[in-house]
Amino acid sequence: MTRSHSTVYQHSIDNPESFWQEAAEELHWYRKWDTVLDRSNPPFYRWFAGGLTNTCYNALDRHVDEGRGNELAVIFDSPVTGTKERYTYREFRDIVAQFAGALQSRGVRKGDRVIIYMPMIPEAVVAMLACARIGAIHSVVFGGFASHELAVRIDDCKPKVIISASCGIEHGKVVDYKRLLDFAIEMAHFKPEICIIRQREQLKAELNEERDLSWKQSLLGAEPAQCAPLEATDPLYILYTSGTTGQPKGIVRDNGGHMVALKWSMANVYNVQPGEVYWAASDVGWVVGHSYIVYAPLLHGCTTLIFEGKPVGTPDPGTFWRIVSEYNVSVLFTAPTAFRAIKKEDPEGRYIKNYDLSNFRTLFLAGERADPDTVKWAEQKLNVPVIDHWWQTETGWAIAANCQGIEPGPVKYGSASRAVPGYNVQIVNQEMEVLPTGQMGDIVIKLPLPPGTMMTLWKADNRFVENYMTHYPGYYQTSDAGYIDEDGYIHIMSRTDDIINVAGHRLSTGGIEAELSEHPDVAESAVIGVNDDLKGQIPLGFLVLNSGVDTPRSQIIRHVIEYVRENIGPVASFKNAVIVDRLPKTRSGKILRGTMKKIANGEPFDIPATIDDPAILEEIKTVLQSIGYATKKKT
């Protein structure tokens, strides 16, 4: 029987304790909680306080113990190395237990941090679950970040062990992960005791005898580890995400609330059943990968897919359809940018016709706004519902979605649909007044947040409160702006801070500016996100040079581009910068990035009343036009 969305939603808001307690009953607890939601120290709400559980047990062992050990847990498909592997729940549990034992035998204990810096290979997932098994806190760093970013994370979470691989493969080239790791450790003030390196045959890494072990060596003599009963409120992982400064924020996730929310979401948001194949085509370095490649599908008893490849070029834009067909994928989740890439190379959808997709039911998109063109293209070519949903690293799972397992509503292009049960979403103005239907404002969520959302920032409780909970007391500030329409559908329009979304990857323009300022010839800089047909947005840099600089301008631009690539990483996609005489500012000295962005995108813009010299906007426009931006007329 279909439940009404409003009934389910209202229950979650009126009585979150009874709502989530019911969901928690589906999982295994060594000891039940004392209280479903400890509200004693707001805004530090704690779900299932007093409960004892283990996320790895629930994700793997539980299924084996319930007689489903021979069902498929993990499929690995790597078109870039020509590898395909399949693991049953029993096999994967045994591998994880063995590696967890290896970590224990090297002295890793509950609460120790372990950084995982790996390409998309099964060992990355094994390492995450092995940490969860023994109560170590993992922190996965996306492989597209360079050494400096890795070093910042090493210094922040001080890992006892770092797990990495000798290499990854990107666009047919071998990426030397071990070299990047060695540089990072050299740069960091904190030094890990041990590095465990998965040697891959495409490139063998040289090991430092005093510090490094190969994955195989680490397993020698190790006994399989049992699951450790952990407090529901013990941290499971730290995941760093871009903040508004160069210093990333370490989002901390708990064990109990996280597993309850993710398991619930599989049936209710995604409408998948245990035993079905669920594929999140993302990377374990991002929150989508944490939640929907690793934890949620396994907690729900689905088969998950680890894919080492890209939507195009590995080898063609039919790869996604080959995988969906070959493994009977029911639900696919990816970022709109992946579809824009496929559409660009195969606009007619000819590759889709080569595969039997009869088992494929729903496509979910998230990570950036799903542009209506892309959604309509996917609907037409695939003939399945295409569901945009909105979430953030901070929340760990969807805030707004067209919940396919409750009462699916109509699709409205450009909207991520209604608030998901558990999230009391409101639109407010700066004065904290709730705005009427259809009016644009800051999107906030009334506290307490549902389970699975962040507990705090790693070793930075004050920053957590200041960043998210202070501007609107009693609410979580999402830093997204938008409106709610007459049907309760949420429309996410923009960020209210300096975060940009590049190919579904979250970056801080402030972080890139900090790197540009390091260049000796640069006096001042600004970075904005400009529209891009493929990646949604890409960063564009503006440089003001020191007076008297005689280095050729093209050379300075080349240097800063290389500099950002070396320090932040290729993932920043920082490929364009211009040199200007000055930056547009208000009389109080604030750079008018919003106006610059509108000019670059060829959008209409008002001349801000507070600008110190309006003529500068025309200068900026002329420079931008010389590199192909700012092409539409000002109205």
Q: Which residues bind ligand AMP (CB under 6 A)?
A: 241, 287, 366-370, 388-393, 416, 480, 492, 495, 501, 506
For residues 282 and 500, the answer to whether their CB atoms sit within 8 Å is no
| Residue ranges in 275-334 that form contacts with ligand COA under rule CB under 6 A | 282-283, 286, 288, 310-312, 334
* Binding to ligand COA in span 102-121, by CB under 6 A: 119
DSSP state of 611: B
Asked if residue 571 binds ligand COA (CB under 6 A), the reply is yes
Q: Given candidates 134, 152, 175, 232, which one binds ligand COA under the rule CB under 6 A?
A: 175
176 binding ligand COA? (CB under 6 A) = no
Residue (176 or 461) nearer to ligand COA, CB: 176
Interface with ligand COA (CB under 6 A), residue from 338, 530, 583, 617: 338
Tokens of 165: 């691989």
Are the C-beta atoms of 416 and 485 separated by less than 8 Å? no
Between 214 and 531, CB nearer to ligand AMP: 531
* Interacting partner of 450 out of ligand COA, ligand AMP, none (Cβ under 5 to 8 A depending on kind): none
Residue 507 backbone dihedrals phi, psi, to 5 degrees = -135, 155
In whole angstroms, what is the distance from residue 448 CA to residue 446 CA? 6
Tell me the residue type at 454.
Answer: M
Residues 513-552 touching ligand COA, rule: CB under 6 A, are 535
Which residues contact residue 600 at a Cβ distance below 8 angstroms, ignoring those fewer than 6 apart? 528, 530, 540, 624, 629, 630
How many residues bind ligand COA (CB under 6 A)? The answer is 28
Q: Rule CB under 6 A: is residue 93 a binding residue for ligand COA?
A: no
Question: Residue 178's binding partner, choosing from ligand COA, ligand AMP, none, with beta-carbon cut-off 5 to 8 A by kind?
Answer: none
Which one, 230 or 312, has the nearer CB to ligand COA? 312
CA end-to-end distance (rounded Å), the chain: 54
Residue among 505, 519, 585, 593 that touches ligand COA (CB under 6 A): 505
Q: Min. distance of Cβ 32 from ligand AMP in angstroms?
A: 32
- CA 242 to CA 495: how far, in whole Å? 13
Q: 171 contacts which partner out of ligand AMP, ligand COA, none, CB within 5 to 8 A by kind? A: ligand COA
Distance, in Å, from the CA atom of 572 to the CA atom of 577, rounded to the nearest integer, reads 13
Beta-strand relationship, 277-280 and 329-334? parallel
Cβ of residue 70: shortest distance to ligand COA, in angstroms? 31
Q: How far is the CB of 146 from ligand COA (least distance, A)?
A: 9
Which partner, ligand COA, ligand AMP, none, binds residue 369 by CB below 5 to 8 Å per kind? ligand AMP
Q: How far apart are CA 341 and CA 351, in angstroms?
A: 13
The least distance separating ligand AMP from the CB of residue 546, rounded to whole angstroms, comes to: 35
Instruction: Select 118 or 583, whichever has its Cβ closest to ligand COA.
Output: 118
Q: Measured between alpha carbons, how far is 394 from 253 in angstroms, rounded to an integer?
A: 9
Pick one of ligand AMP, ligand COA, none as the site partner of residue 389 (Cβ within 5 to 8 A by kind).
ligand AMP
- Pick the closer one to ligand COA by CB: 103 or 571: 571
Should residue 573 be labelled a site residue for ligand COA when binding is judged by CB under 6 A?
Answer: yes
Regarding 78 and contact with ligand COA (CB under 6 A), the answer is no
**23 contact, one of ligand COA, ligand AMP, none, CB 5-8 Å limit per kind:** none
Calpha distance 539→512 (Å, rounded) = 9
Per-residue b/e over 582-607, b at no fewer than 16 CB within 10 Å?
ebbbeeeeebbbebbbbbbbbeebee
The span from the CA of 520 to the CA of 522, in Å, is 6
Q: How many residues does the chain have?
A: 635
For ligand COA, which is the closer residue by CB, 20 or 333? 333
The encoded tokens of residue 425 equal 């979403």
Q: What share of the chain is helix, strand, coil (3-state, %, to 5)?
A: 30, 25, 45
Chain CA centroid to CA 581, Å: 37
The entry of ligand COA, ligand AMP, none near residue 12 (CB within 5 to 8 angstroms by kind) is none
* Least distance between ligand COA and beta carbon 171 (Å): 5
Q: Smaller CB distance to ligand COA: residue 181 or 583?
A: 181
Give the footprint of ligand COA on residues 362-391 (CB under 6 A): 367
Amino acid, single-letter form, for residue 179: R
Interacting partner of 360 out of ligand AMP, ligand COA, none (Cβ under 5 to 8 A depending on kind): none
Helices (H), 498-611: 509-517, 553-567, 593-600
CA-based angle 175:298:503, to the nearest 5? 40
**DSSP secondary structure letter of residue 27:** S
Nearer to ligand AMP by Cβ, of 299 and 492: the residue is: 492
Residue 143 contacts ligand COA per CB under 6 A: yes
Residue appearing with tokens 């994370």: 153
Token code pair at residue 254: 């708990």
Strand, coil or helix: 279: strand
Minimum CB distance to ligand AMP, residue 242 (Å): 8
Phi first, then psi, for residue 423 (nearest 5°) are -110, 115
Site residues (vs ligand COA, CB under 6 A) = 119, 143-144, 168, 170-171, 175, 282-283, 286, 288, 310-312, 334-335, 337-338, 341, 367, 502-505, 535, 570-571, 573
